Amino acid sequence: MADRARNKDGLGKAVTFNVITPMNRFGTCVVRVLLWIFDRWKRTQNTAKALAFLPFVHWVVIKRDRFPQLEGQPAEKLNYDYLFFLSTFNGPWETYIEAFADVLYVPLDLVWFWSIRYPMARPVAPLKRYIKRNQVESDHSYSAYPGASVRDVRAGLEVRRELELFEKNSRDLPPDKFATEFNRLLMSVQNKLGSFGPIPE
């Protein structure tokens, strides 16, 4: 299993998540329209972004005749189109599914409703079983910053922005003004200073 990156310091924080579920032709049409709407209508995306344990969520429709083949591999005959859900998350699997079901159940149900035997998001136990049955493990996963969660990355960017601003504003200041400026910097990044790195094994 390679559902997360690993380096000499430990285990990466982002866990990959792939679920493939079958849909009939009618479902495919509906889901395409829905995804088109989600793409333009930002509310769901904003909720997903606010869930700060969620680096990435993506839905793709794969038509039955569009599955890739290796050279010389005959095309399989499929009875369904497929909805491919891929995501990465920080934290435990159970919590991730629960947060999804508790917070994002409307878009989740709308898009997955068309998948064969989808149980609906709530209560969450049947959804967990459904996902377990349809989840595909990653063979490889790569992470540029295995030691960083979404929050770590956001915090890092923020600290950098503030530091650059400080560097510009504090040049040639007399000591007392410098102290004021430094305190302002510290105040602005005070909750972005946690120690990060891979989770020690």
Distance of closest approach, residue 140 Cβ to other proteins, in angstroms: 25
Binding positions for other proteins, 1-20, rule CB under 8 A: 13
Residues that contact other proteins, how many (by CB under 8 A): 34
Residue closer to other proteins by CB (options 78, 103) is: 103
CB 17 within 8 A of CB 128: no
Other C-beta atoms within 10 Å of 156: how many? 14
- Our finding on whether 123 is near other proteins (CB under 8 A) is yes
Binding mask 76-115 for other proteins (x = CB under 8 A): --------------xxx-xx--xx-xxx------------
Distance of closest approach, residue 196 Cβ to other proteins, in angstroms: 4
- Site for other proteins (CB under 8 A): which residue of 23, 83, 131, 155? 155
- Our finding on whether 46 is near other proteins (CB under 8 A) is no
Interface residues with other proteins (CB under 8 A)?
Answer: 13, 50-51, 53, 90-92, 94-95, 98-99, 101-103, 122-125, 149, 151-152, 155, 183, 186-187, 190-197, 199
